[in-house]
Amino acid sequence: MGGNDGERPADDATVCPLCAVGCTLAPSDGDGDRARGVSGPVNRDGRLCQRGIGAFDALGSDGRLTTPLVRRDGELRAASWPGALDRAANALSTVADEHDADALCFFGAPHCTNEENYLLQKLARSMGTNNVDNRARLCHAAGMTALETRLGRPAMTNSLAGLPDADVILVVGANPARQQPVAFDSYVRPAVHDGTALVHVDPRENQTTRAASVHLAPRPGTDALVLTALCALVTERGGVDESFVAERTSGYGSYAESLADFDADRAAATADIDPETLRAVADRIAAADRVAVLAGTGIEGGSDTADALVDLLLLTGSFGRPGTGMNVLRGLNNEQGATDAGCRPDRLPGHRPVDSPEDRARVAAEWGMEPPATPGLTERAAVERFGDSVHGALVVGENPAVEKRDASWLRDRLTDLSALVVVDLFESETTEHADVVLPAAAGVEKAGTVTNLDRRVQSLTPAVAPPGDARPDFEILRELGTRLVGDAFEYEDSTAAFDEWTRLSPVHEGMTRSAVADGGVQWPTAGDGSRGTAVLYEEAFETESGRAAFADVEVDTADAPADELTLLVGSRAGGVSAAGPSDERVHLAEDDAAPRDLEDGDTVVVRNDAAEVETTVAVDGSVREGTAYLHADVADPLVRDESATVRVRPASQ
């Protein structure tokens, strides 16, 4: 099955920059700023979600940065482009001269194109550091690590288009009905309509639950236990795909032994779910030919959930065919591409390890210099070292705090930097502290390529002009690169950078810009640029042996202290049109509210060792007992505490 089966989009069409689904849209013919959906490889019927319809409005000229700003006498003041670029380059090179290149870090750019990300990491590495990362990657770090280390590639194994072939779809820790609506409505709902069983595993009921045939709401922290119980029950029911296990996996012997002793009823009791419902799900999975997993940010509590999901899929032979696989749903529009282009501290373009001499040599042949061999700092680690060992940062389209919008934590870190250069569309907490702010063009205003959540590289067409003097990030990075490094950054246009990137990245080898413009191409190309790959691992996994190993999942199900509740966070948002929290309340089950003398509407303090937040209570049947649900923005100060539990008390106590 080829990966370029989409239709060629209309000439004025581009890719929606607001999430990783990658729908095709165009400016509407007369209806103000509303976008018009255009039939594309993902939204074949031209469907858009509400956010996509508002894309031009969200990225329009209101409040946009339109001129470069340079700090003079403590104030950010308008400057010319050459003046601002010189100042930015000087500030960064002074840090490298006074300390060394590892005193710099480069953050970005999951909202930017593949070519822009490629330039950003080339700039970092050409200056001598691997301190380059993108924070959106961290939303799905556990899921992607499991995929990369166990199967080979840090990416969704399958395609949206194959989902209707699944017999069972397990949605775990995600709410695609709200967060990836076009993907859900175009591929999951029709499958369910045609008889696919949708099993939602989440301690909270959300929009996705409404479409599901079964909702399992295990106690938080017990997902891996429940999934391992499913593996044991599926085995008992003869649901193991013996030939797949024999030909494509390793380590089954000891894994099967550990399952043989597994007490599924005890697991159900620990997870506080109905054992009969669990058996019914196991029956469906055992009888299924194709099982697909869709996973979101709710599996990120540790590595065990992702590992248990991979085990379940290996056991049932659910890899390498349409309608199967481990599909971690990326969030931002080019989160996948930022990783593929090399905006990771441990990987060169195409996911090649920085500590591999052959891969560095291949890069050196293209760049004329070898990238550093030691992995750099993750974004999280770098932010913690601001003012200590890290003194300068180039930030392209990010808000570089571990979590966003906590002004005081961020301010403390950012004020410790001696050079901060920010490239963005809007002012933010980060630009407030910058020495130089460079105004960028938005996704709908620029050319280049982006890669959606199912590995499809698609082409952007500038649909509207950028406001004022804003420029595409590509031009800004090219200018900075020319000043800081030299000739290696003199690209004629973004296609020249695309060509260089695809020469260096084995999974993009031979991919051509014209094939990308003609309906998109899903990497890997296997060297044939016009054809992509819809389903990974059809013949073999990309591991040394070609097999995937079972993981003996260590399940840690420590109980929360009796008076504490597990903090559940949802409605994560990223991106410019993310509205503020629509719901500031803490949601509690009746059985948790009553013993605390709490009623709907009471004012409470939600507290842990990191912080406290005052809000009101919503007594709510959609959250399970033992949990407290908060919108991500409201939870922000609390999530910095590793314990992830909170105490909820009346504000008056």
Ligand X SMILES: Nc1nc2c(c(=O)[nH]1)N[C@H]1C(S)=C(S)[C@@H](COP(=O)(O)OP(=O)(O)OC[C@H]3O[C@@H](n4cnc5c(=O)[nH]c(N)nc54)[C@H](O)[C@@H]3O)O[C@H]1N2
Site residues for ligand X per CB under 6 A? 19, 51, 110-112, 135-136, 139, 172-176, 179-180, 201-204, 206, 220, 223, 296-298, 301, 331-332, 396-399, 403-405, 423-426, 428, 440, 442-443, 473, 568, 570-576, 578, 632-633, 636
Q: Which of 136, 148, 82 is nearest to 451 (CA)?
A: 136
- CB-wise, 136 or 264, nearer to ligand SF4? 136
One-character DSSP codes across 91-128: HHHHHHHHS-GGGEEEE--TTS-HHHHHHHHHHHHHHT
Residue (16 or 576) nearer to ligand X, CB: 576
CB of 597 to ligand SF4, least distance (A): 42
405 binds, among ligand X, ligand SF4, Mo ion, none (CB under 5 to 8 A by kind): ligand X
- Indicate which single residue of 9, 13, 18, 449 sits in contact with ligand SF4 (rule: CB under 6 A): 18
- Residue 426 contacts which entry, ligand SF4, ligand X, Mo ion, none (Cβ below 5-8 A, type-dependent): ligand X
Closest distance to Mo ion from the beta carbon of 604 (Å)? 28
**157 or 533: CB nearest ligand X:** 157
Of the ranges 21-29, 311-319, 411-419, 534-542, which one interacts with ligand SF4 (CB under 6 A)?
Answer: 21-29
Q: Which does 345 bind (CB under 5 to 8 A by kind): ligand X, ligand SF4, Mo ion, none?
A: none
Q: Which of ligand SF4, ligand X, Mo ion, none binds 16 (CB below 5-8 Å, type-dependent)? A: ligand SF4
Which tokens go with 586?
Answer: 């803490």
Residue 285 binds: one of ligand X, Mo ion, ligand SF4, none (C-beta under 5 to 8 A by kind): none
Question: How many residues lie near ligand SF4 (CB under 6 A)?
Answer: 13
In the complex, least distance from residue 300 CB atom to ligand X, rounded to whole angstroms = 8
Interface region with ligand SF4, contact rule CB under 6 A, candidates 179-187, 191-199, 245-253, 632-640: 179-187
23 binds, among Mo ion, ligand SF4, ligand X, none (CB under 5 to 8 A by kind): ligand SF4
Q: Which residue, among 495, 493, 492, 538, has the nearest Cα to 516 in the 3D structure?
A: 495
Q: How far is CA 360 from CA 338, 374, 482, in A?
A: 19, 11, 22
Q: How far is the CB of 50 from ligand SF4 (least distance, A)?
A: 8
Three-state DSSP at 352 gives strand
Nearer to ligand SF4, 52 or 637 (CB): 52
Contact between 21 and ligand SF4 by CB under 6 A: the answer reads yes
Token digits of residue 548: 């995937």
Q: Is 110 in the site for ligand SF4 (CB under 6 A)?
A: no
Q: Is 450 left (phi over 0), alpha (psi -120 to 50) or beta?
A: beta
- Give how far the C-alpha of residue 403 lies from the chain's centroid of Cα atoms, to the nearest Å: 14
Least separation in angstroms between residue 23's CB and ligand SF4 is 3
Q: Which is nearer to ligand X, 549 or 628 (CB)?
A: 628
Q: How many CB atoms lie within 10 A of CB 650?
A: 14
Q: Is 6 in the site for ligand SF4 (CB under 6 A)?
A: no
Nearer to ligand SF4 among residue 51 and residue 624 (C-beta): 51
Q: At 389, list the tokens.
A: 């060992």
Q: Which does 21 bind (CB under 5 to 8 A by kind): Mo ion, ligand SF4, ligand X, none?
A: ligand SF4
Q: Which does 206 bind (CB under 5 to 8 A by kind): ligand X, ligand SF4, Mo ion, none?
A: ligand X
At its nearest, how many Å lie between ligand X and the CB of residue 208?
8
Q: How far is the C-alpha of 296 from the C-alpha of 179, rounded, in Å?
A: 10
Looking at beta carbons only, is 21 or 485 nearer to ligand SF4? Answer: 21
Residues in the chain: 653
User: What DSSP string describes 218-285?
Assistant: PPTT-HHHHHHHHHHHHHHTT---HHHHHHHEE-HHHHHHHHHT--HHHHHHHHT--HHHHHHHHHHH
H-type alpha helices, 74-211: 81-98, 114-127, 141-150, 176-179, 181-183, 189-193
22-41 binders of ligand SF4 (CB under 6 A):
22-23
Q: Which is nearer to ligand X, 515 or 565 (CB)?
A: 565
| Complex with ligand SF4: residue 16 or 436, whichever CB lies closer | 16
Binding partner at 220 among ligand X, ligand SF4, Mo ion, none, C-beta below 5 to 8 Å by kind: ligand X
Largest CA distance in the chain: 74
In the bound state with ligand X, the residue whose beta carbon lies nearer, of 390 and 442, is: 442
- Tell the burial category of 167 from Cβ atoms under 10 Å away from its Cβ (0-12, 13-18, 19+): buried
Using alpha carbons, list the distances in angstroms from residue 102 to 120, 123, 371, 412, 605: 15, 13, 13, 21, 42
Cβ closest to Mo ion, residue 387 vs residue 581: 581
CB of 464 to ligand SF4, least distance (A): 16
Cα distance between residue 454 and residue 470, in whole Å: 31
CB of 82 to Mo ion, least distance (A): 36
Contact between 138 and 127 under an 8 Å Cβ cutoff? The reply is: no
- Does position 217 interact with ligand SF4 (CB under 6 A)? The reply is no
Shortest CB 192 distance to ligand SF4, Å: 18
- 272-275, long-range: CB within 8 Å, 24+ apart, which pairs? 272/218, 272/219, 272/222, 272/624, 272/625, 272/626, 273/216, 273/217, 273/218, 273/226
Site for ligand SF4 (CB under 6 A): which residue of 3, 9, 13, 16? 16
Cβ-closest position to ligand SF4: 52
Report the alpha-carbon distance of residue 218 to residue 626 in Å, rounded.
Answer: 10
The window from 160-168, 180-188, 497-505, 531-539 that contacts ligand SF4 (CB under 6 A) reads 180-188
Q: Smallest distance from the beta carbon of 24 to ligand SF4, in angstroms?
A: 9
Q: Is 295 helix (H, G, I), strand (E, B) or coil?
A: strand
Amino acid identity, residue 297? T
Q: Which is nearer to ligand X, 133 or 241 (CB)?
A: 133
Judged by CB under 6 A, which of 181, 372, 506, 532 binds ligand SF4? 181
SS3 category, 457 = strand
User: How many C-beta neighbours within 10 Å does residue 621 have?
Assistant: 9
In the complex, least distance from residue 246 CB atom to ligand X, rounded to whole angstroms: 31
Q: For 316, list phi and psi in degrees, rounded to 5.
A: -95, 10
Burial of 547 (0-12, 13-18, 19+ CB in 10 A): middle
CA-to-CA distance for 404 and 572, rounded, in angstroms?
11
Q: Count the alpha carbons within 13 Å of 647 in the hemisphere toward its beta carbon.
A: 13
Burial environment of residue 407 by CB neighbours within 10 A (0 to 12, 13 to 18, 19 or more):
exposed
616 DSSP β-pair partners? 603
Write down the least CB distance from residue 632 to ligand X, Å: 3
**Footprint of ligand SF4 (CB under 6 A):** 16, 18-19, 21-23, 48-49, 51-52, 180-182
